[in-house]
């Protein structure tokens, strides 16, 4: 087991494509770290650089106490699990699991009876090694519920079983770190949720440093001890799932993490009597004292208000200075809850997540009460810094 450290790492592909841009990151020993971001943000390239499949153009990568920039992939002692499983189709599950270990064995000749006579020492060591491999394979198979499938070939397995074999092949090697590249994206939604829970339990049991790449923010939040949100080759935020969701550092992170995404309204802050108010031309929302304190210097400045769908509540009795009037355009029932897409008088779409038993009809006009203590305010200019977070020393 080992920590993995990126120190100012960049990767530029021919054609001046900067896939990874000055990334510094400390992945702790035994941690489950998830790299998440939209397509092309550089997450796979980062993972491949840890594996040694891509070479950094600048900076250093360290695994444990060894800088690995010049170390061949096979000597890095890490295991990678891909989206497409990459199993050997002609081998049984047992052989797929054992193959990596067989390739690394130091003693040959176990299968040849002549060795028992001519080189009994070597024969004994080879047999012992073979028994160890068998023990590791069976132990891993039991851990993953594959005992009954060891003699099958991959084509006779379901998608979930194949993914378990791919996992098993990584685990059996007892590497210093696991690298996962979107390993669940070929599975159907239900199986993905099941495998997600299995992966989490597995990590708790084997406690190996894990770096996991996904574009799915829900997968990132449910799996990661920490989540790294990337865009354009750069890290925008690294923190616990709670931190990146509740305290996004900028508008990009706020909009990427969470489904349905955060609602954004363009407007400005104005002073009304002794209070600060957010106005967008139609609505007026009274800013809470905690936020007012941080926003006092931005009166009359344009600003973006961010409201998560769950921070809105249907309320006919809501005070006008904390509610938005919208016309219901779409109602999406989701079983226990419901997403209501409304349109403001300004023509902005606002999504509210509410109880499924609420009786709402399309084209109806409704009031949504905003919990103004839980909203965010962002700068208008890129990257849209979150102005409602407490200022920390840099
Ligand atoms: P996805 O989720 O679509 O796999 P990603 O976040 O993993 O995206 P990368 O695969 O790391 O992104 O790619 C980052 C950028 O580098 C993209 O613009 C991509 O087109 C580019 N890129 C990746 N590999 C190469 C390559 N071998 N040659 C040139 N450009 C590349």
Q: Are residues 69 and 217 in the same domain?
A: yes
Distance CA 328, CA 113 (A): 80
The domain boundary, picked from 212, 246, 280, lies at: 246
Q: Which domain range does residue 187 map to?
A: 4-246
| CATH code of 61's domain | 3.40.50.300
Q: What confidence tier does 394 reach under pLDDT thresholds 50, 70, 90?
A: very low
Q: What confidence tier does 255 reach under pLDDT thresholds 50, 70, 90?
A: very high
Instruction: Kindly give the number of the ligand 1 atom that is closest to the alpha carbon of 230.
Output: 6
Assess whether pLDDT exceeds 70 at residue 272.
Answer: yes
Predicted pLDDT at 186: 78
Assess whether pLDDT exceeds 70 at residue 109.
Answer: no
More confident residue, 122 or 33: 33
- CB contact at 8 A, 213 and 180: yes
Q: What confidence tier does 149 reach under pLDDT thresholds 50, 70, 90?
A: very high
* C-alpha dihedral, 220 to 226 to 232 to 233, nearest 10°: -120
Predicted pLDDT at 383: 86
Indicate the number of domains in the chain. 2
Distance CA 297, CA 360 (A): 40
Residue 32 located in a structural domain: yes
Q: Are residues 160 and 300 in the same domain?
A: no
The binding-site residues of ligand 1, defined as CB within 6 angstroms of any ligand atom, are: 13, 17, 19, 37, 39-45, 215
Assess whether pLDDT exceeds 90 at residue 250.
Answer: yes
Instruction: Kindly give the number of the ligand 1 atom that is closest to the alpha carbon of 213.
Output: 7
Q: Are residues 223 and 347 in the same domain?
A: no
Q: How many CB atoms lie within 10 A of CB 245?
A: 18
Residue 388 located in a structural domain: no
Predicted pLDDT at 23: 98
Predicted pLDDT at 66: 94
Which protein residue's CA is at the shortest distance from atom 1 of ligand 1? Answer: 39
Residue 384 located in a structural domain: no
Highest mean pLDDT among 103-117, 163-177, 298-312, 380-394: 298-312
Distance 10 CA to ligand 1 centre (A): 13
Q: Are residues 201 and 71 in the same domain?
A: yes
Predicted pLDDT at 117: 60
- Alpha-carbon 357 to chain mean position: 32
Q: Are residues 266 and 240 in the same domain?
A: no
The predicted model scores a pTM of: 0.89
- Which of 257, 233, 244 is closest to 46 using CA atoms? 233
Residue 80 located in a structural domain: yes
Distance CA 181, CA 167 (A): 12
| CATH code of 280's domain | 2.40.50.140
Predicted pLDDT at 187: 79
Q: What confidence tier does 7 reach under pLDDT thresholds 50, 70, 90?
A: very high
Tell me whether strands 337-343 and 302-307 are parallel, antiparallel or unpaired.
unpaired
Please list the residues that pair with 349 across neighbouring strands.
343
Predicted pLDDT at 113: 63
Q: What value does the mean pLDDT take over residues 152-158?
A: 92
Minimum mean pLDDT range among 17-26, 83-92, 277-286: 83-92
Assess whether pLDDT exceeds 80 at residue 105.
Answer: no
Q: Are residues 230 and 333 in the same domain?
A: no
Residue 233 located in a structural domain: yes
Predicted pLDDT at 191: 81
CA angle 373, 272, 285 (to 5 degrees): 35
Distance 49 CA to ligand 1 centre (A): 12
Token readout for 71 is 């170390």
Distance CA 36, CA 56 (A): 20
Residue 256 located in a structural domain: no
Instruction: Kindly give the number of the ligand 1 atom that is closest to the alpha carbon of 11.
Output: 16
Q: What value does the mean pLDDT take over residues 199-209?
A: 90
Assess whether pLDDT exceeds 60 at residue 107.
Answer: no
Which protein residue's CA is at the shortest distance from atom 30 of ligand 1? Answer: 13
Q: What value does the mean pLDDT take over residues 292-297?
A: 90
More confident residue, 95 or 394: 95
Instruction: Kindly give the number of the ligand 1 atom that is closest to the alpha carbon of 13.
Output: 29
Which of 40, 211, 217 has most ligand 1 atoms within 8 Å of CB, for mutation? Answer: 40
Which protein residue's CA is at the shortest distance from atom 12 of ligand 1? Answer: 40
Assess whether pLDDT exceeds 90 at residue 14.
Answer: yes
Residue 253 located in a structural domain: no
Distance CA 178, CA 1 (A): 10
Assess whether pLDDT exceeds 70 at residue 119.
Answer: no
Asked if the peptide bond before residue 383 counts as cis, ω within 30 degrees of 0, the response is yes
Q: Are residues 66 and 158 in the same domain?
A: yes
More confident residue, 190 or 366: 366
Residue 320 located in a structural domain: yes
Minimum mean pLDDT range among 102-116, 182-196, 216-230, 231-245: 102-116
84-98 pLDDT, tens digit each: 777 899 999 999 999
Q: Are residues 207 and 84 in the same domain?
A: yes
Q: Are residues 326 and 298 in the same domain?
A: yes
Minimum mean pLDDT range among 32-46, 128-142, 333-347: 128-142
Predicted pLDDT at 282: 82
């Amino acid at each position: 087991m080992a920590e993995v450290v990126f120190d100012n790492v960049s990767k530029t592909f021919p054609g001046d494509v900067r896939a990874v841009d000055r990334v510094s990151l400390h992945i702790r020993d035994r941690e489950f770290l998830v790299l998440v971001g939209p397509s092309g943000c550089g997450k796979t390239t980062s993972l491949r650089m840890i594996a040694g499949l891509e070479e950094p153009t600048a900076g250093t990568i360290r695994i444990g106490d060894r800088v690995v920039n010049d170390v061949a992939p096979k000597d890095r002692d890490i295991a990678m699990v891909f989206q497409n499983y990459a199993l050997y189709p002609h081998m049984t599950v047992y052989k797929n699991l054992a193959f990596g270990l067989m390739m690394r064995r130091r003693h040959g000749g176990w299968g040849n009876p002549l060795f028992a006579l001519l080189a009994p020492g070597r024969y004994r060591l080879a047999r012992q090694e073979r028994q160890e491999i068998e023990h590791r394979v069976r132990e891993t198979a039991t851990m993953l519920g594959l005992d009954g499938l060891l003699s099958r070939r991959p084509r006779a397995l379901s998608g979930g079983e194949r993914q378990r074999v791919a996992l098993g092949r990584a685990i059996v090697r007892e590497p210093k770190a696991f690298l996962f590249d979107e390993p669940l994206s070929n599975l159907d939604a239900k199986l993905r949720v099941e495998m997600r829970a299995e992966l989490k339990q597995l990590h708790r049991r084997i406690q190996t440093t894990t770096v996991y790449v996904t574009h799915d923010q829900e997968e990132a939040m449910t799996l990661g001890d920490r989540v790294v949100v990337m865009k354009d080759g750069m890290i925008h935020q690294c923190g616990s799932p709670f931190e990146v969701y509740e305290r996004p550092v900028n508008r990009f992170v706020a909009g990427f993490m969470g489904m349905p995404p955060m609602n954004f309204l363009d407007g400005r802050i104005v002073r009304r009597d002794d209070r600060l108010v957010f106005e967008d031309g139609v609505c007026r929302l009274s800013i809470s004292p905690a936020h007012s304190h941080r926003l006092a210097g931005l009166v009359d400045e344009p600003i973006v208000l961010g409201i998560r769908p769950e921070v809105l509540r249907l309320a006919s009795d809501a005070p006008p200075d904390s509610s938005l009037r919208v016309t219901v355009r779409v109602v999406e029932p989701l079983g226990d809850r419901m997403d209501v897409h409304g349109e403001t008088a300004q023509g902005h779409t606002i999504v509210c997540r509410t109880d499924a038993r609420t009786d709402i009809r399309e084209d109806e006009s409704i009031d949504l009460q905003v919990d103004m203590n839980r909203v965010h305010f962002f700068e208008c200019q890129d990257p849209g810094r979150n102005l409602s977070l407490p200022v920390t020393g840099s």
